[in-house]
Amino acid sequence: MHAIGVDIGGTKIAAGVVDDDGTILAQTRRDTDPDDAASIDAAIADVYRELSASYEVRQVGLAAAGFVASDRARVLFAPNIAWREYPLRDNVAALIGDEDLRIVVENDANAAGWAEFRFGVGRDVQDMVMLTLGTGLGGAIVVDGRLTRGAWGVAAEIGHMRVVPGGHYCGCGHEGCWEQYVSGSALVRDARAAAMTQPERAAGLVALAGGSAQHIDGPLVTRAAQAGDALAVELLAEVGRWVGEGCASVSAVLDPEVFVIGGGVSAAGDLVVAPARKAFDAQLSGRGHRPEAGIVVAAMGNDAGMVGAADLARV
Amino acid sequence: MHAIGVDIGGTKIAAGVVDDDGTILAQTRRDTDPDDAASIDAAIADVYRELSASYEVRQVGLAAAGFVASDRARVLFAPNIAWREYPLRDNVAALIGDEDLRIVVENDANAAGWAEFRFGVGRDVQDMVMLTLGTGLGGAIVVDGRLTRGAWGVAAEIGHMRVVPGGHYCGCGHEGCWEQYVSGSALVRDARAAAMTQPERAAGLVALAGGSAQHIDGPLVTRAAQAGDALAVELLAEVGRWVGEGCASVSAVLDPEVFVIGGGVSAAGDLVVAPARKAFDAQLSGRGHRPEAGIVVAAMGNDAGMVGAADLARV
Amino acid sequence: MHAIGVDIGGTKIAAGVVDDDGTILAQTRRDTDPDDAASIDAAIADVYRELSASYEVRQVGLAAAGFVASDRARVLFAPNIAWREYPLRDNVAALIGDEDLRIVVENDANAAGWAEFRFGVGRDVQDMVMLTLGTGLGGAIVVDGRLTRGAWGVAAEIGHMRVVPGGHYCGCGHEGCWEQYVSGSALVRDARAAAMTQPERAAGLVALAGGSAQHIDGPLVTRAAQAGDALAVELLAEVGRWVGEGCASVSAVLDPEVFVIGGGVSAAGDLVVAPARKAFDAQLSGRGHRPEAGIVVAAMGNDAGMVGAADLARV
Amino acid sequence: MHAIGVDIGGTKIAAGVVDDDGTILAQTRRDTDPDDAASIDAAIADVYRELSASYEVRQVGLAAAGFVASDRARVLFAPNIAWREYPLRDNVAALIGDEDLRIVVENDANAAGWAEFRFGVGRDVQDMVMLTLGTGLGGAIVVDGRLTRGAWGVAAEIGHMRVVPGGHYCGCGHEGCWEQYVSGSALVRDARAAAMTQPERAAGLVALAGGSAQHIDGPLVTRAAQAGDALAVELLAEVGRWVGEGCASVSAVLDPEVFVIGGGVSAAGDLVVAPARKAFDAQLSGRGHRPEAGIVVAAMGNDAGMVGAADLARV
């Protein structure tokens, strides 16, 4: 059966018709204005009409970057889109006007994690945690084959688990959140700091950035590390260490079979994952008396949110 | 329907016939030797025979203080009983010799949490986390109405979530585990340290302990606090603060509706729970954009493990 | 005997003729351009000529906001003025052209601390540590009646003692520096974060700031606290707590008789100092077997740098 | 000129006649009872009589393991000897009965550090910090060529600088003291923990300890590391890392020219010192704008306390 998945970002939406094995049969995009929520509703209805013209579709899953209520209908809050207690499902449903169409809203990181669980590296396990290392640190949790949404729909905001009391301030207003140590932003911040504290070692990175530490970004650090730059390797290893140490804490809570590492930073592959595994081994409580979770790189690409949202609309 | 629950401690077992509304209809006990696993098997069979003489029972739940495999049959490891990869279910089943009897093994903290979820303060919620503050910090997690056991059965070892990098050493060999800040042992350790660093303020506690700081224990601190001893109040509040701050991290991961506080330290009631709520409020990421979990004291007493094990044997 | 003290800030210099009991007999000012080091040299020579026209002066002390070499002649580095390995003393001496004139360069926080030691709240002690809580956290150390400059002149950069591994990033490029917890900037940062995480409690502060958390500054927090705003009181107490805890560490190293708290934040008086004393008491190692240092508010005002520089030119 | 130095340990005293270039001309020992302070007084008088029979001596320096008052006469407190506000100098002077004899009491770590400053690796510098990594972490501070004793004689208790808020409990009753990360005791504690958390990697260490992790001691770890044991190398490197990170904080305060590493752990040489230097480089605030302190192994052996005490008696 076909379902449509829509991944709603800050400035564009991407939608696709997805088969029940996760294959994307057709897709389309629209630019959107994050400050104009009604225009996003309209754009979603529009892509639905375009795609449903050629495919019979009975479910639509909307992946939203925000807190999604447990009714899978409303967005409680979004940091980058003008949604506050916003009835996204009902608004879209009213525009489409088809009472038989099932529409659900899911958190975007949950949708991406679900895609990984159903069709990616998590397809053979029942308990999985996904970490998406992008600007922040998103998460998705699957317990016993079911997506964990929490009492109010906001489970798996795992980047806000505190790992350092009194640590770095987070965008959420609190100190020491995991995402301040494990994200593309953390990587870039650390690289720029190293340019100040270790100028000789950072010379290569700064040169790649055209001479200005302020132009260092995450992909640049990854490229430099892949080319053997010692500082870049160390910076990625430091992110990896925090991944592994945090995963040890998550394992104490959830005992998953696998951690899936996605997002932009995961492009660094073993430069992040190998130090993550080492730190995880060193920190896992009860090691030797329990099997150890794997830590692997995500297999689904940028379409994971769309695919996962479509699939969740069937559940 | 009746089921038998057996709570297996280090030096004794307690067993009871439990109705399907959680009522204990009959119970019995045996002393046991933690170094002689076979004798524990025999004692379990023995209490089964005693109790099943008067009640018809088709399920037996065994609550074991250790890592229980996800097959609900084996104990992978126990810190205080001679169990290593131990086939507890099959051993007991062979002794009883009734093929129609369903026997399951559950972690004891999970069993106690399940009792709280089914019959105690969690009976009206679907997502709950229980914290048992005793010698260590045990936990139980219910997600969407189901007990979370993890991929290998060792989920909810929540006391080993790390809250302070480089923090107090834990019995597990790692540093900074939550249970080193939130448990009866932590309370006692802190009280004894205060006797050294703040002798004037600690004079009351030391006097209650017969003049020796080494004789301070947890209930003594609680009694002193209830009588208004300022240091004792502060020590319990510090435990409460760490409860609340850790719960904020757990909420980021699991978004439960309620945290249930059990174990010996919970006897202090609001002396621990009020500071826990305050710290939780102060640390919860996204507060204002999401409902807040409650933090409440457990309602079931020492029989929770027995009741929960019996009930889980029906599931 | 009269000496001239010159306090060289980023955009202006203040100079005064100072008596040997610390009295300022005359003073003058010039605006300066921090990016034009030569113009600062010229302005210093100019104020010297103006002041020495009416007073006989044989020493000039220059207080510089930067790393001052142990030869008391060069500025190694300044964050806000274009000084890099800069021969400030010799440049000024060449412009003045009087070989009998003694000119010395001192770090500005050291100069302010010295004024406090000689003429302020430290005048009766031999071992003192001053903390200047402004944008950053400056320091001055007096050991056995002598200013501690260190092997290379950069002692007492005490704001860069690390108090939290993995803590807040500092302008110096490192994490967890004391000044990130104890300074006017820290106070403002925490107040703005509280506006996000505790909007109800922060309503008063935000209202005082004209409705925008971004307009909260340090004096506003102090005024609000003095008027009884609970959050503002708590924010200052938190700064005070970190003052006291850090002072306990400094006492382990230096065992001073008094800590002197200066800078803009010290205007909050006991709102900061009382929590500092409480935390110091709670954290001081060996308390009960040693006398305890006092923690007091500085007595000299904004002229401390000028007065101290003049006095140090005599030593 | 000759002086006598006496190093007073818990169970024995060692005394020697020391030349003014630090050479020991003669020495002797006595066993003592730490619970009988008067017998220690008598033993000191006794070794004085023995040594002064052959050498003309006008000064005696007593190195005491405790808090020594700034009058250099009394021991305020000692953890391992029955001294509480104890008039050690006057007691010994009364027993010897020679009014022309100068007797001073010094802290033992200060005495050892002074020997290093006068005759060892610090002889060419004016600003030095010594760290003695033994059971605990002792310290000595020389500022501008003078021993820093502090307002009440208890400066340089540098092992009690806090490096981890909420960190390991210290014997002093506080949490996170530097000596809990940098001392022989820390090394042994970490090795035993690794035997639990990383049993395969720790197999070599445990075998060397005759099969029991409880028999691992510091020299054993050092020998294993020298023989190439990977875990032992890592454990010493971890101690070294904390040495270097703490030294970066101390440099922010004192800007010494050299850190001298003594005590039993220093026998590991570069296995500790190389990681210490690396961590120091990585953490020093203002690096690049200031020279960097050296970190070197102490040159004086176990006689440092005796030699330093004798020399300080001349000052």
Query: With 80 as the cut, is the pLDDT of residue A1 above it?
Result: no
CA angle C13, C17, C22 (to 5 degrees): 105
* Interchain CB distance below 8 Å, D252 and C160: yes
Q: Residues A103, A15: one domain?
A: yes
Q: Residues C159, C84: one domain?
A: no
- Check: CB of residue D13 under 8 Å from CB of residue D305: no
Least CB-CB distance to D174: which of B166, B175, B197?
Answer: B197
Is D119 part of a structural domain of the chain? no
- Check: CB of residue A82 under 8 Å from CB of residue A34: yes
- Check: CB of residue C266 under 8 Å from CB of residue C298: yes
pLDDT tens digits along D231-290: 999 999 999 999 999 999 999 999 999 999 999 999 999 999 999 999 999 999 998 889
With a CB cutoff of 8 Å and minimum separation 6, the contacts of A98 are none
Between chain B and chain C, the number of residue pairs with CB atoms below 8 A apart is 15
Q: Which amino acid is located at C92 in the chain? A: V
Q: Report the 10 Å Cβ neighbour count for B79.
A: 14
Q: Report the 10 Å Cβ neighbour count for A140.
A: 31
Residue carrying structure tokens 């729909």: A153
Question: C154: domain CATH number?
Answer: 3.30.420.40
Is C119 part of a structural domain of the chain? no
CB of A200 within 8 Å of a chain C CB? The answer is no
CB of B42 within 8 Å of a chain A CB? The answer is no
CB of C245 within 8 Å of a chain D CB? The answer is yes
Q: Residues D282, D173: one domain?
A: yes
Q: Is the dihedral of CA B224, B226, B228, B231 positive or negative?
A: positive
Distance CA A116, CA A111 (A): 9
Residue in chain D lying closest to C75 (CA): D289
* Interchain CB distance below 8 Å, D164 and B165: yes
Between chain A and chain C, the number of residue pairs with CB atoms below 8 A apart is 45
Rounded to 5 degrees, φ, ψ at B193 are -65, -40
Q: Taking Cα atoms as reference points, which of A265, A262, A266, A13 lies closest to residue A113?
A: A262
Give A-chain residues touching C163 at CB under 8 angstroms.
166
A84's tokens: 């506050």
Q: What is the pLDDT of residue C9?
A: 86
B31's tokens: 């002393």
Q: What DSSP letter does each residue of C206-274 carry, written as one string?
A: HHHTTT-GGG--HHHHHHHHHTT-HHHHHHHHHHHHHHHHHHHHHHHHH--SEEEEESGGGGGTHHHHH
pLDDT in tens, chain C (315 residues): 799 999 998 889 999 999 999 999 999 999 999 999 999 999 999 999 999 999 999 999 999 999 999 999 999 999 889 999 999 999 999 999 999 999 999 999 999 999 999 999 999 999 999 999 999 999 999 999 999 999 999 999 999 999 999 999 999 999 999 999 999 999 999 999 999 999 999 999 999 999 999 999 999 999 999 999 999 999 999 999 999 999 999 999 999 999 999 999 999 999 999 999 999 999 999 988 899 999 999 999 899 999 999 999 998
- Check: CB of residue B293 under 8 Å from CB of residue B287: no
CB of C198 within 8 Å of a chain B CB? The answer is yes
- Check: CB of residue D128 under 8 Å from CB of residue D303: no
CA distance C165 to chain B (A): 8
CB of C127 within 8 Å of a chain D CB? The answer is yes
Least CB-CB distance to C161: which of D164, D249, D290?
Answer: D249
> Can you give the three-state secondary structure of A189-250, one letter per residue?
HHHHHHHHHCCCCCHHHHHHCCCCHHHCCHHHHHHHHHCCCHHHHHHHHHHHHHHHHHHHHH
With a CB cutoff of 8 Å and minimum separation 6, the contacts of D296 are D121, D258, D259, D260, D261, D273
With a CB cutoff of 8 Å and minimum separation 6, the contacts of D196 are B172, B173, D213
Rounded to 5 degrees, φ, ψ at D59 are -140, 145
Q: Residues C14, C144: one domain?
A: no
Give D-chain residues touching C174 at CB under 8 angstroms.
283, 285
Q: Residues B133, B23: one domain?
A: no
Q: Is the dihedral of CA C166, C167, C169, C172 positive or negative?
A: negative
* Interchain CB distance below 8 Å, B153 and A255: yes
A309's tokens: 């949202």
Q: Taking Cα atoms as reference points, which of C139, C164, C165, C144 lies closest to residue C154?
A: C139
* Interchain CB distance below 8 Å, A287 and D166: no
Distance CA A83, CA A72 (A): 14
* Interchain CB distance below 8 Å, D255 and C152: yes
- Check: CB of residue D262 under 8 Å from CB of residue D298: yes
Q: Residues B269, B131: one domain?
A: yes
* Interchain CB distance below 8 Å, C173 and A164: no
Q: Residues C69, C188: one domain?
A: no
- Averaged pLDDT score across all residues of chain B: 96
CA angle A26, A29, A34 (to 5 degrees): 145
- Check: CB of residue C275 under 8 Å from CB of residue C241: yes
pLDDT in tens, chain B (315 residues): 799 999 998 889 999 999 999 999 999 999 999 999 999 999 999 999 999 999 999 999 999 999 999 999 999 999 889 999 999 999 999 999 999 999 999 999 999 999 999 999 999 999 999 999 999 999 999 999 999 999 999 999 999 999 999 999 999 999 999 999 999 999 999 999 999 999 999 999 999 999 999 999 999 999 999 999 999 999 999 999 999 999 999 999 999 999 999 999 999 999 999 999 999 999 999 988 899 999 999 999 899 999 999 999 998
Give A-chain residues touching B164 at CB under 8 angstroms.
165
CB of B250 within 8 Å of a chain A CB? The answer is yes
Q: What is the ipTM of this complex?
A: 0.96
CB of C29 within 8 Å of a chain B CB? The answer is no
Q: Which residue in D124, D245, D289 has the most chain C C-beta atoms within 10 A of its own C-beta, making it the best mutation to test that interface? A: D289
CB of A23 within 8 Å of a chain D CB? The answer is no
Subunits with 3+ Cβ pairs within 8 Å of B are A, C, D
* Interchain CB distance below 8 Å, D168 and B189: no
Strands of the C3-8 sheet, one edge to the other: C24-31, C12-18, C3-8, C59-64, C102-107
CB of C142 within 8 Å of a chain D CB? The answer is no
Q: Say if strands A294-297 and A258-262 run parallel, antiparallel, or are unpaired.
A: parallel
CB of C119 within 8 Å of a chain A CB? The answer is no
Max intra-chain CA distance, chain D? 65
Q: Report the 10 Å Cβ neighbour count for A274.
A: 15
Least CB-CB distance to C173: which of A168, A169, A193?
Answer: A193
Residue in chain C lying closest to A189 (CA): C169
First-to-final CA distance of chain D: 12
Tell me the sheet residues that pair with B141: B129
Subunits with 3+ Cβ pairs within 8 Å of A are B, C, D
- Check: CB of residue A59 under 8 Å from CB of residue A307: no
Please give the residue range of the domain that contains residue C253: 125-297
Residue in chain C lying closest to D130 (CA): C253
- Check: CB of residue C139 under 8 Å from CB of residue C157: yes
- Check: CB of residue B219 under 8 Å from CB of residue B267: yes
Residue carrying structure tokens 């998705």: A140
Least CB-CB distance to A287: which of D197, D287, D288?
Answer: D197
CA distance B13 to chain C (A): 44
- Check: CB of residue C69 under 8 Å from CB of residue C77: no
Give C-chain residues touching B281 at CB under 8 angstroms.
198
Is C82 part of a structural domain of the chain? yes
Least CB-CB distance to B288: which of C165, C199, C287?
Answer: C199
Distance CA A268, CA C42 (A): 54
Residue in chain D lying closest to C124 (CA): D151
Q: Residues B55, B142: one domain?
A: no
Lowest-pLDDT range, A83-87, A285-289, C70-74?
A285-289
- Number of structural domains (chain B) is 2
Q: Residues C98, C130: one domain?
A: no
Q: Which of residues 144-173 of D touch C (CB under 8 A)?
A: 144, 146, 148-165, 170, 172-173
CA distance B124 to chain D (A): 37
Q: Give me the half-sphere count of Cα atoms (radius 13 Å) on the Cβ side of residue D138.
A: 22
Tell me the sheet residues that pair with B67: B77
CB of D274 within 8 Å of a chain C CB? The answer is no
Q: Residues A20, A103: one domain?
A: yes
* Interchain CB distance below 8 Å, C290 and D156: no
Q: What DSSP letter does each residue of B217-237 carry, written as one string?
A: -HHHHHHHHHTT-HHHHHHHH
CA dihedral D114, D118, D122, D126 (to 10 degrees): 90
Distance CA C239, CA C257 (A): 22
Distance CA B248, CA A176 (A): 12
Q: What DSSP letter does each residue of A37-62 carry, written as one string?
A: HHHHHHHHHHHHHHHHTTS---EEEE
Is C120 part of a structural domain of the chain? no
Give kind and range of the element (H or E) at residue D248. Answer: helix D230-254
Distance CA A262, CA A112 (A): 9
Residue in chain A lying closest to C173 (CA): A193
Residue in chain D lying closest to C162 (CA): D249
pLDDT in tens, chain D (315 residues): 799 999 998 889 999 999 999 999 999 999 999 999 999 999 999 999 999 999 999 999 999 999 999 999 999 999 889 999 999 999 999 999 999 999 999 999 999 999 999 999 999 999 999 999 999 999 999 999 999 999 999 999 999 999 999 999 999 999 999 999 999 999 999 999 999 999 999 999 999 999 999 999 999 999 999 999 999 999 999 999 999 999 999 999 999 999 999 999 999 999 999 999 999 999 999 988 899 999 999 999 899 999 999 999 998
Q: Residues A180, A71: one domain?
A: no
Q: Taking Cα atoms as reference points, which of C174, C216, C170, C172 lies closest to residue C193?
A: C216
Q: What is the pLDDT of residue C315?
A: 81
Q: Residues A246, A143: one domain?
A: yes
Residue in chain A lying closest to D167 (CA): A165
